[in-house]
Structures are given as C-alpha cells and as structure tokens.
C-alpha cells in the first residue's frame, strides 16, 4: 500500500525522504509543497527532480480525501462536504463563510461514543478515530477545491478529546507557520467535557482555543442529556474549566444548545448565568438544529427572551443563528443518512 503523506510532520517528511534514498532537505521541500503550497499532485512539485517525483509516485500518495457528496450552498452560503474514507466509512465537514471569517467545521471521529441524546452523530455510535491525515485532509481537500479557509472548529462529528493525540497533532499541523499557518487562535477545539483531558490540555499549554458544551446548568438534567456528566458532574466540569482559564490565561467558550421546553426556561437562564459569572468565559448559544422527533428548536422569540434573561453578563455572548434546514445544520446528519442507505 502506498504511504499517505498528508498528516506527516516536517520531521516525518524528512525521515520519509531518507527512506526513499533522498536527502533530508527533500523532505522539507515535500512538506512545503503539501501544506504551504497545497500541491494537488507530485507532478506539481516543480523543484523536485523528475527522478524524485517518480519515486514518490511509486511509493506514496498525497492522501486527499475522496468527496462523496457536496450538499449545495445554502442561503447562508454554507456547504456540507461528505467524504468517503478508504475503509468505506463516511465523515463530514461544513464550510461556513461569513463576512469576516471563512470557517471550516471538521470531524475528529467516525461517529461518537458519548451518546448525547440530542446529537445526530451519537446515533452512529463510535466507529473509529480519525488519523491525523484524515483530520488535516478535510481541510486540505476543501482548500484544493478552491475554498479559502481562515478558521477551524472541531465541532463536526466526534469528540475531539476522545481522540486527543491525533487532534492535537492535527491542530499543530494546521497552525504550523512553515505549513498551513492557520493561527492557533483561529482554531477552536470543542469538548463535551472530558475533564481529565481538559486538565491535560491546560497543563500542556496549547494555544488553540477551547470550547465546552455545557447544555444544561443542572446536574440531574445534564446526565439525562449528556451521559458523560455521570462521570464528571457539572461542578467538577466547572472546576476544570476554571483551572484551564487560570492556567492558560485564555477565555474558554461555554456552548449551550437551546432546545425548546428542555433547557430554555427562566430557571435555566438564571442557573446558567450564575455559572458563567463564576468564571472567565464567553457564552455561545446554539439554537438546536432539529435532527429527530424528540427535540425541537425554540422559537426566535423564545431565544431572544432567553438572551434577555441572561443579560447583563460580563462575559461575551453570541447566538449562532442558522436556519434549521441550512447545510450547516447538525453535523452527523449527512453521514447518518449515508449509513442508513448503505445498511
Ligand atoms: N463532541 C464535541 C464537538 C462536536 S459537537 C462537543 O460536544 O463539544 C459541537 C457542538 O454542537 C456541541 O456544542 C454540541 O452540543 C452541539 N450540537 C450537537 N447536536 C446539535 C444539534 N442538533 N443542534 C445544535 N447543536 C448541536
């Protein structure tokens, strides 16, 4: 089988060059071609001698992902990409451009083990982790199709912190100045609240931004919605977020998916307010994208009322407005449909 080069670090590219009998610096050239110049093929790598390119063609491939489906540009301009991985499984990425930034929402796993009740990806169960190349490959492949990408959010399928090493390595490649050079502060890793990994992430001192999906301020309810709360309750999670904020001196984002009649009451707003006032953080309200029969998005009026209940806050507050039928709607939907068709 040919070696896939997307996903290799600069040191690994150097090693690979040596493995095929070339000088180390050829590996650095290769790295530049892959990540900085986004070459589509070995043929495009014009400063490599033809003999080197031949060797590469024989032994390796770049490893762009295969696009299975593109879910057209919606009214808001977002585009959903479905990729078919070499083992036949599917993942998706969502491109969300607006005036100031061009964000790509990427996946970290095929499916997910965490079983959040409202989440479409949860229904797939965990199938496997994505490799570093498959994570970075989502970005490079979409860039190859001509899209400009300025920001990355790990909010697609999967729990990034359950695939911790690969996600961190991928984020390091994405932000490497010699390569893709997406600023570390333009990369957000979103977690459902794996406390051990939040602590580790804080201790390792990474520069990427962190977002935590809280979704309910009440432990009894959060356990129902997000079974991970059985292992680490709301208080323990909040302590970890405070530890992260203090240690990193960065402001984490608390994500809160608003679901009609579930977590959009005045009591919820008051309890959420108390939590977010107790720590340095920003708040991101995400109106629910309806994915099944069980839950629904609150009315626009109810969302606005919830915001009023929350204010005033010292913390920054944003609402991620998107239409329910938007291509950006709930990650996991498209791959889920694909899976149903295959079964
Ligand atoms: N596992 C990670 C990242 C993937 S989910 C996490 O939990 O943070 C990214 C965000 O989308 C999370 O805040 C999650 O709560 C939210 N989400 C999941 N399903 C959704 C849906 N149907 N509508 C709106 N947001 C959803």
Q: 230-248: per-residue pLDDT in tens?
A: 999 999 999 999 999 999 9
- Annotated catalytic residue, options 92, 134, 159, 255: 92
pLDDT given at position 73: 72
pLDDT given at position 171: 98
Of 16, 43, 61, the last residue of a domain is 61
Cα atoms found within 13 Å of the Cα of residue 118, Cβ hemisphere only = 28
238 catalytically annotated: no
- Is the Cβ–Cβ distance between 287 and 303 less than 8 Å? yes
Q: What is the CATH number of the domain that holds 193?
A: 3.20.20.70
Same domain, 43 and 134: no
Mean pLDDT of 289-307: 93
Number of domains in the chain: 2
* 18-30 pLDDT tens trace: 999 999 999 999 9
Same domain, 29 and 155: no
Q: At what angle do helices 234-248 and 195-204 cross, to 10 degrees?
A: 10
Same domain, 279 and 219: yes
Same domain, 277 and 313: yes
Instruction: Tell me which residue has its CA closest to atom 13 in ligand 1.
Output: 213
Same domain, 189 and 94: yes
Same domain, 238 and 320: yes
Integer angstrom CA distances of residue 131 from 7, 119, 163, 166: 8, 23, 9, 6
pTM of the model: 0.95
Is the preceding peptide bond at 251 cis, omega within 30 degrees of 0? no
> Token digits for 8?
């290799």
Same domain, 145 and 74: yes
**Burial environment of residue 148 by CB neighbours within 10 A (0 to 12, 13 to 18, 19 or more):** exposed
Same domain, 186 and 130: yes
Q: How far is ligand 1, taken at its centre, from the CA of residue 166, in Å? A: 20
Beta bridge partners of 66: 84
For residue 297, give the ligand 1 atom closest to its CA.
Answer: 23
**pLDDT interval class at 7 (50, 70, 90):** very high
Of 11, 40, 61, the last residue of a domain is 61
- Reply yes or no on whether the pLDDT at 337 is more than 80: no
Instruction: Report the run of H or E that residue 257 belongs to, with start and end.
Output: strand 253-258
Same domain, 192 and 117: yes
Query: Which residue is it, tokens 């959040």?
Result: 116
Mean pLDDT of 294-311: 95
- Reply yes or no on whether the pLDDT at 325 is more than 60: no
Provide the residue range defining the domain that includes 55.
3-61
Mean pLDDT of 176-195: 98
Q: What is the CATH number of the domain that holds 43?
A: 1.10.150.530
**pLDDT interval class at 334 (50, 70, 90):** low
Q: Rounded distance, CA 151 to CA 285, Å?
A: 19
Same domain, 299 and 208: yes
Same domain, 47 and 73: no
- Reply yes or no on whether the pLDDT at 329 is more than 70: no
Integer angstrom CA distances of residue 102 from 141, 181, 224: 15, 15, 35
SS3 at position 199: helix
Instruction: Tell me which residue has its CA closest to atom 18 in ligand 1.
Output: 119
Ligand 1 pocket test target in 112, 117, 119, 282 with most atoms within 8 Å of CB = 119
Of 22, 46, 61, the last residue of a domain is 61
Same domain, 126 and 23: no
- Which residues have C-beta atoms less than 6 Å from ligand 1? 118-120, 155, 159, 190-192, 213, 215, 255, 257, 286, 288-289, 291, 330
**Burial environment of residue 267 by CB neighbours within 10 A (0 to 12, 13 to 18, 19 or more):** exposed
pLDDT given at position 327: 46
Instruction: Tell me which residue has its CA closest to atom 15 in ligand 1.
Output: 213
Instruction: Tell me which residue has its CA closest to atom 24 in ligand 1.
Output: 288
Q: How far is ligand 1, taken at its centre, from the CA of residue 288, in Å? A: 9
147 catalytically annotated: no
């Amino acid at each position: 089988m040919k070696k896939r080069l997307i996903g290799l670090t600069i040191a690994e590219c150097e090693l690979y060059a040596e493995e095929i009998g070339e000088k180390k610096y050829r590996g650095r050239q290769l790295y530049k071609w892959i990540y900085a110049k986004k070459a589509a093929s070995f043929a495009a790598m014009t400063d490599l001698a033809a003999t080197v390119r031949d060797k590469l063609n024989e032994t390796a491939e770049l490893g762009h992902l295969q696009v299975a489906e593109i879910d057209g540009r919606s009214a808001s301009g977002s585009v959903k990409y479905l990729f078919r991985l070499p083992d036949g499984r599917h993942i998706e990425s969502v491109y969300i451009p607006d005036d100031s930034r061009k964000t790509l929402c990427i996946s970290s796993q095929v499916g997910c083990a965490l079983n959040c009740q409202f989440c479409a990806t949860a229904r797939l169960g965990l199938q496997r982790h994505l490799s570093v190349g498959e994570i970075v490959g989502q970005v490079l492949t979409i860039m190859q199709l001509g899209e400009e990408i300025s920001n990355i959010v790990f909010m697609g399928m999967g729990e990034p912190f359950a695939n911790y090493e690969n996600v961190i390595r991928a984020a390091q490649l994405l932000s490497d100045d010699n390569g893709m050079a997406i600023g570390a502060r333009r990369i957000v890793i979103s977690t459902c609240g794996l406390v051990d990994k939040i602590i580790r992430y804080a201790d390792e001192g990474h520069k990427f931004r962190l977002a935590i999906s809280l979704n309910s301020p009440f432990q009894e309810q959060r356990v129902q919605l997000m079974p991970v709360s059985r292992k680490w309750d709301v208080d323990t999670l909040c302590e970890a977020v405070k530890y992260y904020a203090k240690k990193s001196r960065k402001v984490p984002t608390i994500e809160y998916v608003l679901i009609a009649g579930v977590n959009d009451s005045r009591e919820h707003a008051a309890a959420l307010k108390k939590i977010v006032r107790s720590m340095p953080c920003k708040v991101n309200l995400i109106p629910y994208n309806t994915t099944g029969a069980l839950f629904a998005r609150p009315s626009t009026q109810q969302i606005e009322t919830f915001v009023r209940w929350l204010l005033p806050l010292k913390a920054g507050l944003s609402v991620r407005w998107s239409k329910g039928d938007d291509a950006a709607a709930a990650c996991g939907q498209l791959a889920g449909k694909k899976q149903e068709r295959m079964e």
